[in-house]
Amino acid sequence: MLRTFEMHQVRKTTELSGKLWSFTPLEGEQAGETMKVMVPSCLETYPGFGNYRGIVSYETVFEAQGNIRLEFKGVSHFARIYIDGKEEAAHYGSYTPFTVCLKNLAAGEHTLKVEVDNAFRDDYVLDFPNDYMSYGGISRGVMLEQVEELYLEWVHVTPLQEKNGVWTVRAEVSCHNLTEMPQRAMIRLKLADREVTSGEIQLMPGENTYTFEEFHAEDVTPWSMETPALYQVLATLEQKGVVVDDLIDRTGFRLVRLEGREVLLNGKPLRIKGFCRHEDHPQYGCALPREAIAYDLQLVKDLGANSVRTSHYPNDELFLDMCDELGILVWEENHARGIDGERMKSPYFEEQCEQVIKEMITAHYNHPSIYIWGILNECGSETEYERSCYYAQFELIRSLDSSRVCSAASCRFGTDICQDLPDVCSWNIYPYWYDEDTATQKIDKLHNWLESDGKGAGKPLLITEVGAGGIYGFRDTSSDVWSEDLQAEVLEKQLNEIAASENCMGMYIWQFCDVRVSRIWWALRRPKSRNNKGIVDEYRRPKMAYGVVRKIFRSLPDYRENK
């Protein structure tokens, strides 16, 4: 299962992941040597491939006939898809899903080969040596589906407003017509004991989108952190009274609104108590199994946190499903970290960012846990060209989803010229660690600058990174640098001061767990080739700071007082 629930009852599906595939490196000393590996997985976790950069091949066989749809949840960085030796598709983007559809496949056994390139190349603008590990391989699940000539691609449900327990809802459904002629069909949508139909409509060849204008859903429980109520969305596609396809998803009824300096969830001003979290584990790389994801979120809940920031890329949908179920708010962001102005001028940059945003929002639209979309973490934001990139991406997000707020985490105090563009002004600060200022001083300076010259007047202020480094097991009574002792002391001061600020709606700690970084990137500042600012280490062993954070987070309510 690629989700925590089944998505089809009518459509026939077969998971191709969760088993061994043939793996063959195509470059380097081991080129041509084949071994069996589990998919999903990261090639850097295979013996002898810890620092491999280049092209590899994954291969498996499947049985099918007719029209098939292959869904890949994540392949890093670049994938070429071959069926029976013929190239059928290619995709760049490590952390977003993509599909391949083939018509009229002959009955019998077929070979699926995926060539994966995890190299750093000029045309892979979003992947380069960074402060996290850019893993390679088929890192997320793969599903084979047999579809009819008409099939459903996605359904998006948007709660619009609530009054006296009655919710107004809008829904959009995407369907494909694989024939070369218009086809008549009907879409039926069931949600929270309410059923609506399109009536008979004409589907043109290719992709079609049908909109169910506003309708009511009665007697539903709103989704919230304390009561994460979820409802099944069932879409069916019918021809001449026969159901030819179905699609099951989940949603929650909740409203995210911006009001002055607050972000409201169902009318209540949020207080964010969160962690930035990388998909990273010494055993699994970024291909964490569901059990490991669940354990991470158990720790998040135990710590008293109410939110996770998916730094710095869209996360596996299994993670989002679990956040929906646990009532954990999610800041999800596109794949972009630390891209400077020169790299942003690449002819590939805007196209690749746009693709990630479209694929991220299309795939993850229904998750009620996602309250904010983020872009371009600590990227160039000081020139008019850089500003135009932010403007274009925010406009794209708003055109795809007006039901959430959006932001971008910055660190360019005094020089960032983009703070009028996001809904929320978000800043990465490290008082008592990199910065000489206290957290109080830093926030006051940020607030005053945003209100005057920084173009962020009247907007919410959110601290998206704060933290300090500590190496697990290194204890020092004099609180030496990299000791658990100093990390705990610094975090205690940071969090208490941020929590006391009336100008700030919350914070994300950098970071949940220690993570591997690219050996090429800032190696001398990252002991053990790891970013050691985790509250737990890479094996999820708690540091001294765990208890400090737990005490502070648990003492803070999930909502701020209405001003």
Query: Tokens 């987070």 appear where?
Result: 553
What distance in Å separates the CA atoms of residue 42 and residue 329, rounded to the nearest whole number?
A: 27
Q: What is the mean pLDDT of the chain?
A: 96
What distance in Å separates the CA atoms of residue 329 and residue 52, rounded to the nearest whole number?
A: 35
Q: Tell me: the pLDDT tens digits for 483-542?
A: 999 999 999 999 999 999 999 999 999 999 999 998 776 655 788 889 999 999 999 999
Confidence at 454, pLDDT banded by 50, 70, 90 = confident
- Helices 317-326 and 290-302 cross at an angle (nearest 10°) of 40
Q: Residue 343 has what pLDDT? A: 96
Apex CA 311: angle with CA 223 and CA 363, to 5°?
Answer: 55
SS3 527: helix
Determine phi and psi for 511, rounding to 5 degrees. Answer: -155, 180
Domains in the chain, start-ordered, CATH in brackets?
A: 12-147 (2.60.120.260), 150-251 (2.60.40.10), 256-555 (3.20.20.80)
SS3 325: helix
281: nearest Cα among 513, 508, 472, 95: 513
Determine phi and psi for 149, rounding to 5 degrees. Answer: -65, -25
For the chain, what percent of residues have pLDDT higher than 90?
94
What distance in Å separates the CA atoms of residue 352 and residue 381, rounded to the nearest whole number?
A: 18
Average pLDDT over residues 237-247: 97
Average pLDDT over residues 317-331: 98
The strand ranges marked E within 300-375 are 307-310, 329-333, 370-374
> Model pTM greater than 0.95?
yes
User: Does residue 556 surpass a pLDDT of 60?
Assistant: yes
Which helix H or strand E contains 197, and what residues bound it?
Answer: strand 194-203
User: Does residue 27 surpass a pLDDT of 70?
Assistant: yes
Say how many C-beta atoms besides its own lie within 10 A of residue 184's C-beta. Answer: 11
